[in-house]
Structure 1
Amino acid sequence: MKNNFLPYRLLTLLIFVCLLANGTMGQTITNHFPESGNVGVGTLNPSNVQSWNKVLEVYGNSSAKLLVSTNLESVKMGMFSHFNWAGARGIVGTESQHDLSIQAGYSEKIRVKLNGNVGIGTTNPTHKLSVNGTIKTQEVNVTATGWPDYVFKPEYKLMPLSELEAYIQKNGHLPNVPSEAEVMENGVNLAEMNVKLLEKVEELTLYVIELEKKINSKDF
């Protein structure tokens, strides 16, 4: 009798294990891991509207996260989606306190620092955007803090040409314009330089007007 009962006990145990493995005891199946094809975590129907060969979807009702981490240094990098974390959005970045690197062909191209600085062609950006290379664009809009129309106000003191000549001979550059040495060391602030250049153009305009008046009055 015992020998006949043993196969039934083994069969019952096998069924129980299979039910646990498939998640059918006490919970609904939400994962889909086929031997080939799309893979869904949290969903039985991973999205593949573009008909990719293979798809992995991590689905959550209001948010989802996919992490890649290491034990050493506890580096965590992930992809996130959230319905209301500073607005509904998708996120790519590090979850740990480490920089984010974007590579192409196993060569780093972009580095995002923890302080928010972004470097292209450099791993240690010192500004909000540091580019080690050339930039090509159709338009640059620079915010200026002032504009030199004060040159045309009656109270503006235009330097006499004799003093301007003496300044140039002594310093080798125009007043209120950085020298070559300063530019080579510190670079050029485009907004500030445009203001300074326009200031000089407006001063030059006043010099020309003044010179024309002298010519017309024959006051030489």
Structure 2
Amino acid sequence: MAAYSQTNIFPSTGNVGIGTTSPMFPFHVNGQSRFQGVATFGDSYDDILYGKGLQIVRMQDQGDNAFHISFIRAGTWVAGMGFLRNSSTFAIQNGSSNAATTGVFLSETGKVGINASDPAYELDINGNARIRGNILYVSQFGALYSDINNIAFFGDGGYIFANKNNSVTRAILEPAGTLRLYNSGSEFAKFNGTGDSFIRGNLAIGTDNSKGYKLAVAGSVIAESVKVKLQAAWPDYVFSETHTPLRLSEVETFIKDNGRLPEIPSATDIKKDGIELGDMNALLLKKIEELTLYLIEKDKQVEALKKDYSSLKERLGSLEQQLVDK
């Protein structure tokens, strides 16, 4: 026997309709509805009431990847939410089921994953992230890292870049602006914001190959002063009694044979190897000192010739006078 009241139908068998006399489902409500108390839906039941409204209960292992609640944009798209299959991780996902690995996931320990169904951190993002604001705030002594070998610590106005457990430091930017660089945990460079800086290895400017030099510059250099301090001896030994310079005739022969002064590198060598500034200055000074010795020797010879000339002149004058007197 069926019961009718306005547009409701309560048949003894078949579908029940409220607001309709032709229900299409076992319980069909056409219009607004209200549940006064807790309404439980799903393929299972839990007699503990966790809230005051709607409870959706599924089996612990529901046996499928269906959502607890589905949101359907008819004929276009499906989104849903609920626990993952046989899991305590809660997910909000775009797609036809919760089998996908994309979405927002909340683990039972409170960790949130974005496109990461098993978040290992409080916020675990599998993919790129963008912050549209101007500030990313990391609390004192917080850290950011890309993987186990790259991490940045922030604290006291400075920055430390290291591996994950900070056992191998890569770089330190101090609050005053000093930058320290490390290789395998050892400091090899320091760029001081207020004082001296240093680098332990070779430095190349304008090129990526120092060719073994402490400083290699591919281009011009300008400076108000350059000081070269040689490790080798300065050529003051030229003036010692034990030093014997070449005779000028020997220098002449060498120039004729080689087209350059002795010990001075050739144009070919300079073009190939460049000039050692300190060594070249020392060589040039040596040549100037040797030239000075040559001039001193020549001056002595000139003075001796002048004396000989004066003596000869006196003798010649005496002979001329003797001839006149006869």
Matches within 5 A, 1:111-150: 116-126=201-211, 127-144=213-230, 145-150=232-237
Give the alignment of 1:99-178 within 5 angstroms.
116-126=201-211, 127-144=213-230, 145-178=232-265
Corresponding position of 1:39: 136
* Distance (whole Å) between structure 2 residues aligned to residue 173 and residue 91 of structure 1: 49
Q: Match for 2:266 among 179, 193, 201?
A: 179
Letter in 1 for 2:38: K
Post-superposition offset of 1:37: 4.1
Q: 1:6 aligns with which of 51, 67, 72?
A: 51
Partner of 2:155: 60
Provide the residue aligned with 1:80 in structure 2.
172
In 2, the alpha carbon distance for the partners of 1:92 and 1:40 equals 25
How many angstroms apart in 2 are the aligned matches of 1:211 and 1:79? Answer: 65
Shift of 1:7: 4.0
* Alignment-derived partner of residue 285 in structure 2: 198
Distance in 2, matches of 1:195 and 1:81, equals 42
State the Cα distance separating 1:142 from its structure 2 match.
1.1
Greater share of residues in strand: 2
Any idea what SS the aligned residue of 1:119 has?
strand
The SS at the match of 1:156 is: coil
CA drift at 1:170: 1.1
Does the aligned pair in 2 maintain the 1:40–1:58 contact within 8 Å? no
For the residues of structure 1 that align with 2:218 and 2:275, how far apart are their CA atoms? Answer: 16
TM superposition shift of 1:92: 5.2
**DSSP 3-state at the match of 2:137:** strand
Deviation at 1:172, TM superposition (A): 1.0
Q: 1:9 to 1:202 in 2, by over 3 A?
A: farther
Using CA pairs below 8 Å that are at least 6 residues apart, which structure has the higher relative contact order?
1
Contact 2:245 / 2:290 at 8 angstroms: preserved in 1?
Answer: yes
Q: Distance in 1 between matches of 2:287 and 2:218?
A: 31
Relative distance call for 1:90 and 1:121 in structure 2 (3 A) is closer
1:93, 1:9 → 2: CA distance? 59
Normalised by the size of structure 1, how large is the TM-score?
A: 0.57
Q: Match for residue 52 of structure 1?
A: none
Q: Give the deviation of 1:158 after TM superposition.
A: 2.0
Residue 263 of structure 2 aligns with an amino acid whose one-letter code is N
Shift of 1:60: 3.3
How many residues align structurally? 161
Which one has the bigger helix percentage? 1
Measured after TM superposition, the shift of residue 185 of structure 1 is 1.6
What is the CA distance between 1:166 and its match in structure 2?
1.1
> Residue 130 of structure 1: CA displacement?
1.7
Inter-partner Cα distance in structure 1 for 2:242 and 2:182: 55
What's the CA shift for 1:214? 0.7
Change (3 A) 1:137 1:2: same
Structure 2 Cα separation of the partners of residues 37 and 62 of structure 1 = 18
State the superposition RMSD in angstroms.
4.2
CA contact (8 A) 1:79 1:92 kept: yes
TM-score (norm 2): 0.40
Q: Tell me the secondary structure at the aligned position of residue 6 of structure 1.
A: coil
One-letter code aligned to 1:41: V
Partner of 1:74: none
Tell me the alpha carbon deviations over residues 132-163 of structure 1, each in whole angstroms, 9 at most, x when there is no partner.
11111111111212111101011111211111
Residue 40 (structure 1) shift: 2.7
Letter in 2 for 1:90: L
Structure 1: gaps of 5 or more residues = 11-16, 22-33, 45-56, 68-77, 84-88, 96-114
Matched, 1:211 2:298: yes
